[in-house]
Structure 1
Amino acid sequence: MVSFDHREPGTDESVWAAALASRRLPPVDLDVDRIVVVAAHPDDECLGAGGLLATAAGRGIPIDVVVATDGEGSHPASPTHSPAGLARRRRAELAEAMDRIGVEGLPVLLGLPDASTGAHRRVIAETLDALLRRGNARRVLVLSTWRGDGHHDHRVVGEVAEQVAAARGARHRAFPIWLWHWGTPDDVPWDRAERAPLGRDAAAAKARALGAHRSQIAPLSDAPGDETMLHAGMRAHFARDVEVFFAPVARTDAAPAPAPAGQPGATDPAAEVRPTETDADPASVGADYFDDMYARHDDPWGFDSRWYEERKRAAVLAALPRRRYRAVFEAGCSTGALTAALAARADRVHAVDLSEAALERARQRLTAQAHVELRRALLPQQWPEGAFDLIVLSEVAYYWGAADLERGLAAAVAALDPDGHVVACHWRHPVAEYPLTGDEVHAALAAVPQLARLVRHVEDDFVLEVYGRAGAPSVAAEAGLV
């Protein structure tokens, strides 16, 4: 999982300077009639693309700026600024920053809830689509936050911008921000990276614009909760003489570009903003997130390398009320570390994952286990047929939006044998990219009337529970001890 704390030192800029100096990246093509920037928060546009925007403004290229949220959640514990007050301040800072860069016209401020853009994809899509309808979209460069940046709002904005741009035939490039903090050069999709070199004037304009975002680069006050969001080490990543952008992943199965609005064959790109599977809940994390993770890491979550994961896996197995099960269903099996352990205690295991890359690694691990079936599936929409006496939801349900969680729990109950068990185990710390927390998942599970809790184990880091159908006996009762 990509989890980071903005207060940590992060990756030193010297690491990135060496990585960039060793690579000859192609330049971003600025032969365009217009640029549209879609940012998640005020300051994203300056941090990731301020120099390129200053360069474009100097050439007389028109620029439209769309900002999804007001960033009112940047200081949740502030004793001096309410969310509404911070939102007003950040809007004013944005206007000042755009003026310093040379962007004419006011930004389009959507005012969506900070950290909750996933529930408002259509608003972002419709706004961008309306801007791309003005003139020839093929001569427009769309810039946005990067969907692999490790931040929920950045991911959502990046996904929507990429999809709408593709549907309208516009060119799209994404800029990373938090990648420079939590990542290393091994996390960068260099094969899709492009550079925007900054001349002296553009670099100076970017620096002045970043200075306008005072609520982020300086403390709001001396009080606890008002600390600086972007410390000096983080800001060093944006004082370079070059900016980096990522092109979209090339898709050989891309749909043809839509006809112009109002003509036969015209489509509504806003209506197309959804994961690849047409029934997916847009609030849930889509396949692209997992594809990016497995493309960058052989073992993204450290299932085979971290003692934490090994210990937690042992706790899950120890919590199972029965020594052996007839039929096990594992949702979100990843590379198969837990699957292999379950296979030793089951007559049959059916495991699924959304990522084909993960499944390929799981197949290599389980090649000798003929009683294990591995398939790709979008859950909960493609829940397997049949009944199971053990259903495993381990580190998976917080990827679902609230509607999908409800569907998934209903599907689990429907597929559970009368004597079956549901085991759930989830990370408790919040992750910006996940629609839900582990505690929220387990609260929903506890509210399912058809289930009764048999086991509950809670640590600071994870919560582990086992449920049976209402009236299910305890382990000792099932064994005849009580």
Structure 2
Amino acid sequence: MLDYPETLRAKLAEGALDLPLPGSGATRRRWSELARLGRTDLPLARVAEGHCDAVAILAEADRKSVPGALYGVWAARSGGTGAVLRGDRLTGTVRFCSGAHGIDRALVVALDEQRRSVLVEVDLREDRVRPVEGTWQALGMADSDSPDVVLDEVPVHADQIVGEPGFYLERPGFWLGGGGVAAVWLGGAAGVVDSVLAGLRAPDEHQLAHLGALHTALRSTQALLDQAAEIVDDDPRGDHRVLVWTCRAAAERAAWEVLDRVPRITGPTPLCRDAGFAQRLADLQVYVRQHHAERDLAALGGAVVRGEDRRVLPVFDPTGYRRVTAVAAHPDDETLGAGGVLRQLHELGASIRLVVASDGEAAFPELEAEDRAELGRRRRRELAEALAELGVHDAEVHWLGLPDSGLAHHEAELTERLRELLADADCCLLPWPGDPHPDHRAVAGAALAAAPVTAHRWSYPIWMWHWMSTTDPAIPWQRAHRVPLTDPVRQGKSAALRAFDSQLVRGPNGEPPILPPEVLAHFERDEEVLFREPRRESAPLARFSALYAADPDPWRTATSPYEQRKRALVLAALPRQHYEFAVEPACGAGALTRELAARCTRVDAFDPVAEAVAAARRHSGVAVRQATLPEGFGPERADLVVLSEILYYLSDDELDRTLDAVTEVLEPGGDLLLVHWRPWAPEAVRDGAAAHERVAARPGLVKVVSHVDDQFLLDVLRRR
């Protein structure tokens, strides 16, 4: 049996189990470390995950763990077993107590005399705590040491009770712990595939097909966990049940894909002749059964039916915007789709400018010209009342007076007029470009064309909710963010919607209302949804030329603590102490170039901006040249390529061509280092995570170093 207590104590002593707390801003790193443990040794990871979960639970209760102690969490209540707290005595039999013979303390979930859930911290040196020998007969996960444990009238003092009754199940972290378990499952599944790849020789097309399917399952589950971690960190106190159910279901499905396909790849030989390989498969099969299968899937399905699956979306961050311009096709669009976020932005100090393309005079098409004009005037008055109810009465409103229901014929004019009104905006809110209403699509296209490169662009759906299914593949949920609405904001928005009386009642000739109750219900929820609208083209060179013309070091690369710490980690992550020839495109002012020159015989650094090239030459002592991506790569093979803070600025086509060029120039065995800021820059086509995922998906590159920081991502990939 693995001597896991000593192994875990060594990891504890060296700080390897001191993981970031879930929801602390580094949940992705926490889950990545748990997955890494599972990838190496699944039974050990099971016990380690219990320790890390217990430490997080204690922290959530404002308690500290005992220094140097190994913890577990024992919560099972299967088959009529489970712990009971009667007065000051803890009694009962608890099943599946991982680490029973080797850990020091356990958080035991019990029922008190009122059948409330209570959490008790138990010192396992107490002689009334006894593992039941022979109750852990598993072949898979045998080394997790998970027998039944008898609690024989164990004395409990008041200071051993963790939190109030119900704390264990009701705390936000309960669901986040389930995400950590999913990460370990995923790591265990990936570890099995690692073993297959290590022993595979000259695979045939059927083996390759299975490997492709497994790669897809593992990568997609990893991407889901990474996105979930960001959502958790954006809203650590939120209700993440649906999110975790989804992650666990995906990880379980990936594990069963591995269990099904791996024997098809290997055949029976390693299962019969390689004890370690057979054990890995058995461990994974047992551990993944901790998933509650159809019960959890049924709960997830019920949440989807109730619309609760929207909670898996990351939370929109309204901070940092100073000048917001919202564009609407008709008066009421901005309130329906973005009224809540407009109020939030206003409360945070942003100035609000609203541009309304039409007066909405054609809401009832059968009206005569004079009646249409009166309806337009009425809708202008309704908007003023709505903005007052919303709490943004001082918004600067611009009416363009273009024809309602005919905006598609005026998109060029609309673009020109919007260009001036959007010129100083750092945030542009616009109708979703895929909205079924042609006026909304026209306004969206014009706003996207007119928005300055320095503005973040967010779209709000309107008729999508009523005219489309939320499962429609045309809806870009991967770019969606939710905007939770507090009760005051929701009440203000509801009052604002009631101000549009002309749209809530029948038309002058008895026409059905434009916004009947079933439509209005979509906009009276406790959250709004925004879609990020990224650029399609590469960030323009003129943008960077302007930055360097104004400041020779616009990102303070020489003095910023962020940049200094990032450079230190970049240099520490390089797998080799010395490289012969490194290529650094988009080197900027040369702060990293100087450090690379000390580790490389030669460095070829280049940048498209003349001012940056001059600064880099001064700072680095390297003969930096002016060149662009992807054309800037020379013919000489390199053993190191460094891509820092550049890939998210490139269009899809230029990114693909750049990676093609990297593959050409990087010699076999050479290293590709990527480091990118995690937030989404307004000029960017994608964020840092998406850029790194695109590179990692390239065949022939193997990740050898990965670091997830609160502010940036760092990966080193080696060319096969």
**TM-score class, shorter:** 0.3 to 0.5
Report the TM-score, using the length of structure 1 for normalisation. 0.47
- Larger Cα Rg: Structure 1 or Structure 2? 2
Which structure is higher in helix share? 2
TM-score (normalizing by structure 2): 0.33
Which structure is higher in RCO with an 8 Å CA cutoff and minimum separation 6?
1
